[in-house]
Amino acid sequence: MSELQNLYKLQQIELELESLQKSIKELPVFAEFKKLQAETADAKEAWAWARTKLDEQAKRIKRLELDLLQTEAEQRQAQAQLFSDSGQTSKELEQLGRRSHALDCERREKEDMLLMAMEGQENLTQTVQQAEEHYRALRAKLRQLQKAGNAEIQSIKNRVNDLELQREQLQKQISEALLGEYRRQRPRYKGNPLAHLENDCCSGCRVIVFTGLKSRLKQPDSKVYCENCGRRLVP
């Protein structure tokens, strides 16, 4: 293979390397991972929130229970007084009767409140369970995606390493002068200052090449440039 052909090969390798490095940064798995990561964080927060609510509800139930016990005790006391037969006046008895009745109503109200609070606790327990399941499912999905993403990135990196080795080998086989010219021309031609002939067209600009140039290209050590774009043509 001629030096120029090696240089062309080098150019193609560098183009692929650049495109791989760009694709690594723009992998869809990154955006997907970020989105799932945010969803997982939200689910974790929702789970913690539900747990806090459940704790608060348990404390509330405890308070209601104590309160109910207190009312029950007061009512028992009022009843005992009412039936103690300790010579109360009829007015006193009437007052005691009213108090006992009021305490009874209060007790029923508190019982209802306690029942409702316990129902709320059951619902919250379910909410906590569902929130935990949701969070764990998302976390598993996130780990799976991370694994797949790592494998994808690794396979690209392997290809990059392989290409870098090939580039190193090729560079040793090309003169400094030719490499220097190629490096200087790269920015002007978006990375490919060398072109092939493809169906009599310059592979760089796709414009047809004159027959004269084609035959000159066949001569060894000739320097032929595309008349349209100025790229050096490689046989």
Q: Which chain residues interact with Zn ion by CB under 5 A?
A: 202, 204-205, 226, 228-229, 231
Q: Between residues 97 and 212, which has the closer beta carbon with respect to Zn ion?
A: 212
Closest CB 30 distance from Zn ion, rounded Å: 37
Cβ atoms within 10 Å of 131's Cβ, excluding its own: 19
Report the C-alpha gap between 14 and 8 in whole angstroms: 10
| Distance from the first to the final alpha carbon of the chain | 11
Q: Between residues 103 and 226, which has the closer beta carbon with respect to Zn ion?
A: 226
Report the C-alpha gap between 164 and 13 in whole angstroms: 8
| Secondary structure E strands in 55-181 | none
Cβ atoms within 10 Å of 8's Cβ, excluding its own: 23
Residue the block writes with tokens 């080998």: 169
Closest CB 5 distance from Zn ion, rounded Å: 18
Q: Between residues 50 and 234, which has the closer beta carbon with respect to Zn ion?
A: 234
Closest alpha carbon to 98 in 78, 125, 112: 78
Q: Between residues 193 and 204, which has the closer beta carbon with respect to Zn ion?
A: 204
Closest CB 7 distance from Zn ion, rounded Å: 17
Q: Between residues 114 and 205, which has the closer beta carbon with respect to Zn ion?
A: 205
Q: Between residues 61 and 229, which has the closer beta carbon with respect to Zn ion?
A: 229
Report the C-alpha gap between 24 and 54 in whole angstroms: 45
Closest CB 37 distance from Zn ion, rounded Å: 47
Closest CB 173 distance from Zn ion, rounded Å: 25
Q: Is 226 left (phi over 0), alpha (psi -120 to 50) or beta?
A: beta
Closest CB 233 distance from Zn ion, rounded Å: 8
